[in-house]
């Protein structure tokens, strides 16, 4: 009889930050989710969809270090390198997320520029969809991507949150 593999274990919790409550989760590979509304029940559902069969454990203590890191990332102008991440995604999505991660605080780029930086200038809509699929907004700062006309565009955390995050970085968009 074949030995069964133990279920993947994902820890999740809610943390309190300067921008409000966030849901965070990590796998054995790294941070795998940040939920901007802090809704732990919705985060658990999202994790169950993304990681079928995983053991989902709410664990405040087990995520204390990751919580401190996310909080520091929000508070400091130059928070240092990204922690280990477990993002999944397609090859193109990962290229988009790497390109977003290189956009400095206080700067924005357009979805068109993002598609170009991800290696496919014609894939503007796909680049925007990759932003929407980003499992760790803030650390992969998709709030720094705007429409070509300079307007905000979309954001999984809502446009007021996008505006708030950009404002904290010194970018004011009407």
Name the residues annotated as catalytic: 142
- Helix (H) / strand (E) containing 7: none
Residue 134 CA to residue 141 CA, distance in Å, equals 9
Residue 155 · residue 134 · CB < 8 Å: no
Distances (CA, A) of 114 to 16, 77, 130: 31, 22, 10
Q: In what order do the strands lie in the sheet with 9-17?
A: 31-35, 20-26, 9-17, 55-58
Residue 86 · residue 33 · CB < 8 Å: no
Whose CA is closest to 59, among 19, 9, 6? Answer: 9
List the structure tokens of 171. 């970018």
């Amino acid at each position: 009889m074949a030995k069964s593999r133990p279920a993947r274990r994902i820890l999740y919790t809610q943390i309190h930050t300067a921008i409000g409550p966030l849901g965070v989760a990590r796998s054995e590979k790294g941070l795998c989710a940040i939920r901007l509304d802090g809704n732990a029940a919705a985060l658990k559902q999202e994790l169950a969809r993304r990681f079928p069969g995983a053991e989902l454990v709410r664990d405040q203590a087990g995520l204390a270090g990751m919580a401190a890191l996310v909080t520091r990332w929000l508070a400091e102008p130059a928070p240092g390198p990204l922690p280990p991440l477990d993002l999944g995604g397609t090859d193109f999505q990962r290229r988009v997320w790497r390109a977003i991660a290189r956009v400095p605080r206080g700067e924005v780029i357009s979805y068109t520029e993002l598609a170009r930086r991800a290696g496919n200038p014609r894939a503007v809509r796909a680049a925007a969809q990759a932003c929407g699929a980003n499992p760790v907004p803030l650390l992969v700062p998709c709030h720094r991507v705007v429409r070509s006309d300079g307007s905000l565009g979309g954001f999984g955390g809502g446009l007021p949150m996008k505006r708030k995050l950009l404002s904290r970085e010194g970018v004011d968009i009407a």
